[in-house]
Amino acid sequence: MRWLVRFLIALILLVVVIGGVLGFVVNRWMYGPIPQHDGEITVDGLNGTVTILRDDWGVPHIYASSSHDLFFAQGYTQAQDRWWQMEFFRAIGRGELQELTGRNPSVMGQDVFIRTVGWLQSARHDLEEMDTQTQAYVQAFADGVNAYISSRPASELAFEYNILGVTGVTIPIEPWLPEDTLVWTKVMAWDLGGNWDAELFLSDLLGELDEEMVADYDPEWPFGLKPTIIQPEDLPGEGETFSDQVMNWNGITGLDAQIVSNIAPGANFVFGEGEGIGSNDWVVNGDKSATGLPLLADDP
């Protein structure tokens, strides 16, 4: 009987030890990436003292004595709060998603599409065309990002690195470059201009039908939808709300659909399929609000 008691005690101790070890590991995995939001931090690269105050919603409010330090701190705090998102978005913009997931045929088409289109090259070109001051701001932001990600191991930057490590994928933390900041603007430009597949279809259609027949098939607005468009003559100042150039077929006829269709499946992986890409902004005059101030809202 004594051996049974000893066995049960040993078993309980073993379970406690294993539970403690697992609890410690899970705690490190889950809470290790949580950044420091209180106290003081000494960071190389700043020219002066920067104060970052977070409100009740966790939004950082940055106060600095120079533009360089302001953008540096913005990069630092953004990396604190969103590093894995930045890492993931950078991989998409560069066409390097397989480097995060490991060799995965399901995402290879996306990487091929993005590298063929050349978002990264376009971002580098934009950087070269910027004035010196803007380049300095973009560089300061990148320096702030790097100051944060270089201060921690991968396991304390994002929980996702730990998950990928279990699957056998080890990702080296690469420095954040100025073009990494700009490349996502290319992704968003393609996303919000997501009618390219429709234009390829219309190009094929215009090769078989005349413009009047194509216009009947593809009206300016979906049937039953009557959008509100302010006419130019109703505006208080000069300007136009829309252009007839948007409604013609220039730039659609003569497209080589075959060449583009070879890489098109990768785009569907990035942006999805179907209509309805975009979001809405809503502005209400202050005369209609309780505070007398205008209301601005946005929905995805």
pLDDT in tens, 77-100: 999 999 999 999 999 999 998 888
Same domain (yes/no): 80, 113: yes
What pLDDT is recorded for position 23? 47
Answer yes or no: do 221 and 171 share one domain.
Answer: no
Query: pTM for this one?
Result: 0.69
Question: Among 28-37, 126-135, 143-152, 250-259, which is the least confidently predicted range?
Answer: 250-259
Assess contact for 79 and 85: CB atoms under 8 A.
no
Query: Does 71 fall in a domain?
Result: yes
Q: Which of 28-37, 57-66, 285-294 has the lowest mean pLDDT?
A: 28-37
| Average of per-residue pLDDT across 201-227 | 74
Cα three-residue angle 171-90-84, rounded to 5 degrees: 60
Q: Contact 66/56 with Cβ under 8 angstroms? A: no
Domain boundary among 130, 158, 192: 192
Mean pLDDT (the chain, rounded)? 77
Can you give the pLDDT at residue 209?
78
Give me the domain span that covers residue 203.
196-299
Residue 250 has pLDDT above 70, yes or no: no
pLDDT at 135: 97
DSSP class of 45: T
- Whether 8 maps to a domain, the answer reads no
Give the side-chain half-sphere CA count within 13 A for 240: 5
Highest averaged pLDDT of the listed ranges 7-16, 30-39, 240-249, 257-266? 30-39
Average pLDDT for residues 201-228, to the nearest whole number? 74
Phi, psi angles (nearest 5°) of residue 60: -80, 135
Residues 154, 262, single domain; the answer is no
Q: For the purposes of burial, counting CB atoms within 10 Å of the CB of 300, is it exposed (0-12), middle (13-18) or buried (19 or more)?
A: exposed
CA distance 58 to 80: 12
Distance CA 110, CA 270 (A): 7
Q: In this predicted structure, what is the pLDDT of residue 176? A: 97
Same domain, 74 and 108: yes
Residue that wins the pLDDT comparison between 147 and 28: 147
23 domain-assigned: no
On whether residue 2 sits in a domain, the answer given is: no
The C-alpha atoms of residue 95 and residue 187 are separated, in whole angstroms, by 11
**Contact partners, residue 16, CB within 8 Å, separation at least 6:** none
Judge contact between 83 and 158, C-beta under 8 A: yes
Nearest to 187, CA basis, from 87, 75, 89, 298: 89
Residues 183 and 70 in one domain: yes
pLDDT tens for residues 156-170?
888 777 777 655 667
Q: Are 152 and 234 in a shared domain?
A: no
Task: Give residue 10's pLDDT.
Answer: 56
Token pair listed for 88: 């993931």
Which parts of 6-82 are beta strand (E)?
51-54, 60-63
At CB < 8 A and 24+ separation, what contacts does 126-130 make? 126/182, 126/185, 127/178, 127/179, 127/182
Tokens of residue 233, six digits: 């003559």
Taking the C-alpha atoms of residue 95 and residue 111, their distance in angstroms, rounded to an integer, is 4
Whether residues 261 and 283 share a domain: the answer is yes
Domain boundary among 192, 222, 237: 192
Q: What is the pLDDT of residue 141?
A: 98
Residue 173 φ then ψ, to 5°: -85, 110
Question: What is the predicted pLDDT for the residue at 21?
Answer: 44
Residue 242 has pLDDT above 60, yes or no: no
Pairing outcome for strands 280-284 and 295-299: antiparallel
**Residues 119, 92 within the same domain:** yes
Q: Are residues 175 and 214 in the same domain?
A: no
Say if residue 171 is in the same domain as residue 60: yes
**Same domain for 135 and 37:** yes
**147, pLDDT greater than 90:** yes
Instruction: Average the pLDDT over 211-229 and give the result.
Output: 72
State yes or no: pLDDT of 249 exceeds 80. Answer: no
pLDDT at 266: 54
Angle at 111 between CA 122 and CA 114, to 5 degrees: 25
Residues 137 and 55 in one domain: yes
Whether 17 is in a domain gets the answer no
Is the residue at 149 inside a domain?
yes
Q: What's the count of helices (H) and strands (E) in the chain, helices before strands?
A: 12, 4
Q: What percent of the chain is modeled with pLDDT above 90?
A: 30
> What's the whole-number mean pLDDT along residues 245-268?
55
Residue 123 lies in a domain: yes
Picking from 115, 85, 114, 113, the residue whose alpha carbon sits closest to that of residue 100 is 85
Whether 267 shows a pLDDT value over 70: the answer reads no
The residue among 168, 192, 216 that closes a domain is 192
- Is the distance from CB of 141 to CB of 62 less than 8 angstroms? no
Distance CA 112, CA 14 (A): 51
Task: Read off the pLDDT of each residue in 113-135 and give the average, rounded to a whole number.
Answer: 93
Looking at the structure of the chain, the number of domains it has is 2
